[in-house]
Chains A and B, each alone.
Chain A
């Protein structure tokens, strides 16, 4: 019902709009003024209603705020122009109208000022406050206007009867009271948007009743039955609200004024002057407006309340249904959850326990509800749980973390549980209760404990194995020292006969073989158990390689074999490797090569595969390895000559150890046949170059 704020309309901003609105105000007020003057002249008396101010004001209230001042001026000029046009030949008509209608100007400005101050967003006639404001304005503004006009009339050289304060006041007031609300409520936008209620049969009937009553009352001059009009008007207002009431009042005014002017209607029964009759007519219309508009406003207000009440009821019902559905959902979740859902007060009393408690804790929900958590929790775990609860209660932003604790089962045993409570608070932030999900983690705990035990056992086993290896190393070397030592003494002894000396030499040689074998077995089990520890350091590589060759030099010279060392220029002189283990690999390869090569040469090559990866190859001119044996060469306990004769000793661990060592050094070991029939035993290892200055220190 409230008028849409016109400032937002597109028309409002441009200068063209201002011109259009001003022109509209000018024309409307000119037409109304002209009509009133003509009507009065033809009737021989003055008009009972002054519509010009009311129509112009209704236009202004719909126009953008910025154009209103222009429109006031336009309306003023329209009225003056109409007077000047209708009173041709009267010399003082124009200045007289200019002077007199400044009272109307004042009235319009006053209305605009009051309305923009007290109803800046437009008038809503269905609201009591706006209705009261408007009625007050229709009293005050015409009163001010009438006072000014009466004062100005005395300035005119010619008296203009039958103007009086009361007449001026009455017709201006009626104009505002009857026309402005009706014009403001006819909203083209609302009609276009079909937001008007449709006219139902009863509405139409009410309108017809009013029209019939009006015709009946005002078409005769015999009976003073004016009292029939208010019920019909109220009926229309009752059916159609404020807008219908305003239209009804407008209709009543039109009919009554028209009839009275035509000399018909109950007003004519008054045996008094024309002025008195007009005053009575005005009084009648004021009474009509005053009875119809409040009824309509009250009805509209009631309807609004009903609508909002209905909406509120619907909303409440919707919320109730949502809450019920939500409650059902959560209850279903709580019922079907495999973990136990509980709510408990800050002092631990359980308010709600989900059915899962039977499985999780062994108690039914009924057995737990109302009891205290503390009755079940292991005393040793209480302080942690209490500390956590306190932390969550004290600090609203505290991070939730799961806590493990033991809780008593019906059989008296303790099970492990995991809890992760959250605090529910009231509007002031005070904690109301805890909501918690409890999970039986006894099985998990047991598995964790088992795993930990297994881990410890595995660690102990590895440590025991390493211990055993260390002890074996020591225990085997100690007697060997004596065997080697004493057999050396026997071999050196000059007192021993030649045969016995030869036996002693056999013991000495066997002891040496045993020593090699013990070292191999220990190395192999270290590699196998992963307990091999490398000790890399900065090593002068050419030194190491030369030294390795020196070890087999005497054996090679005995066979007249050529020994050669070739180091690629790209090989860095100092590298980070475990020298003992690298030497072990090389000696194995070189000893084998010398052992199996009858004639020719044994060469040691060093090249870089790429940066940080060193390749060492021992190339001989021996018989090579038969193809079917190559695959098993680096397997444990394999020997090239596996026949029972076994010319060459050893347990066949040497190459397997070499490969294990190479793998441990981040590389690989292998065999390739050399072109021309010999063998290539090679290994690749990770050997980062070391800066020369560091190497010089090592």
Chain B
């Protein structure tokens, strides 16, 4: 493993909600290698429950899932004041604009299209976690961050 462990990543917790076990395993390998703590949930409902129980530093949320999809989970998160500000990075295999717009409307913090490579994933996650840290340091949400557009690849 050549991936360097980021000092910022230490102790940061990421919840991964993804129904595909292979992708989930690969993402976990990559994120753990980068120094993050990762908790994987295989469906929307259990993911939502997990996030509500203890809001993590970042949520990696797949959109296409059976029963409760990523949009439904995101909507629930944004209704709840406890989870309203948790950064969410959406993952999807659909590269149509419909999904991008919807993610933006539901105030996702970013959007990454499958297949993606490890470097991209780590960069996006690091950026969102870093932003969170800055916000924490300032002790609140800056208006600029809230209105910022979702990041699209």
Name A's B-contacting residues (CB within 8 A): 470, 473-475, 477-482, 484-486, 488-489, 492-494, 515, 533, 535
Question: CA separation between A484 and B22, bound complex, in Å?
Answer: 11
Q: How far is the CA of A485 from the CA of B24 in the complex (A)?
A: 11
Report whether A485 and B93 are in contact in the complex, using a CB–CB cutoff of 8 Å. Answer: no
A484 to B3, CA, bound (A): 17
A22 to chain B, nearest CB (A): 109
Are A473 and B94 also in contact (CB < 8 A) when A479-B22, A482-B20, A492-B2 are? yes
B26 at the interface (CB under 8 A from A): yes
- CB neighbours of A485 from chain B (8 A): 23, 26-27, 30, 115, 117-118
Say whether, besides A492-B1, A492-B2, A515-B115, A474 and B94 are in contact (CB < 8 Å). Answer: yes
The answer on a CB contact under 8 Å between A494 and B2 is yes
What's the Cα separation between A479 and B3 when bound, in Å? 23
What are 5 A-to-B residue pairs whose CB atoms are below 8 Å? A474-B64, A481-B116, A482-B23, A485-B26, A485-B115
The interface residues of chain A, by DSSP majority, are classed as helix
| Contact in complex: A481, B2 (CB < 8 Å) | no
B8 within 8 A of A: no
B residues with CB within 8 A of A: 1-3, 20, 22-23, 26-27, 29-30, 64, 93-97, 114-118
Cβ-defined contact, B118 with A488, below 8 A: yes
On whether the beta carbons of A535 and B97 are closer than 8 Å, the reply is: yes
A489 to B97 CA separation, bound complex (whole angstroms)? 30
Residues of B within 8 A of A473 (CB): 93-95
Minimum Cβ distance to chain A for residue B104 (Å): 14
Q: Please name the residue on chain B nearest to A519 by beta carbon.
A: B95
**A481–B94 contact, CB under 8 A?**
no
Chain A residue at minimal CB-CB distance from B19: A478
Chain A residues whose CB sits within 8 angstroms of the CB of B20 once the complex forms: 478, 481-482
> Once the chains are docked, how many angstroms separate the CA of A535 from the CA of B95?
13
The listed residue with most B CB atoms (<10 A of its CB), out of A475, A481, A486, A488, is A481
Closest to B2 in A: A492
Please name all residues of chain A whose beta carbon is closer than 8 Å to the beta carbon of B64 when the two chains form the complex.
474
Q: Is the CB of B2 within 8 A of A484?
A: no
Q: Which residues of B contact A479 (CB under 8 A)?
A: 22
Cβ-defined partner of A477 (8 Å) among B2, B29, B115, B117: B115
Q: How far is the CB of B6 from chain A (nearest CB, A)?
A: 17
Instruction: State in angstroms the CA–CA spacing of A474 and B70 once bound together.
Output: 14
Q: Across the interface, do B97 and A481 meet the contact criterion of CB distance under 8 Å?
A: no
Contacts of B27 in A (CB 8 A): 485
Given known A-B contacts A470-B94, A485-B23, A480 and B1 have beta carbons under 8 A apart: no
List the B side residues contacting A475 at CB < 8 Å. 93
Query: A489–B94 contact, CB under 8 A?
Result: no
Choose from B3, B23, B29, B96 the contact partner of A481 (Cβ within 8 Å). Answer: B23
Closest to B92 in A: A474
Question: Known contacts A470-B96, A474-B64; can you find 4 more A-B pairs with CB under 8 A?
Answer: A474-B94, A481-B114, A482-B22, A535-B97
- Assess whether B2 is in contact with A482, with CB atoms less than 8 Å apart: no
Q: Which residues of B contact A474 (CB under 8 A)?
A: 64, 93-94
Chain A residue with the shortest CB-CB distance to B121: A485
Min CB gap B139→A, angstroms: 33
Closest chain-A Cβ to B143's Cβ sits at a distance in Å of 19
CB closest residue in chain B, given A479? B22
By beta carbon, the residue of chain B nearest A483 is B115
Q: Which residue of B lies closest to A485 (CB)?
A: B26
Chain A residues within 8 Å of B96, by CB: 470, 533
6 interchain residue pairs of minimum CB distance? A477-B93, A485-B26, A482-B22, A481-B115, A481-B114, A474-B93
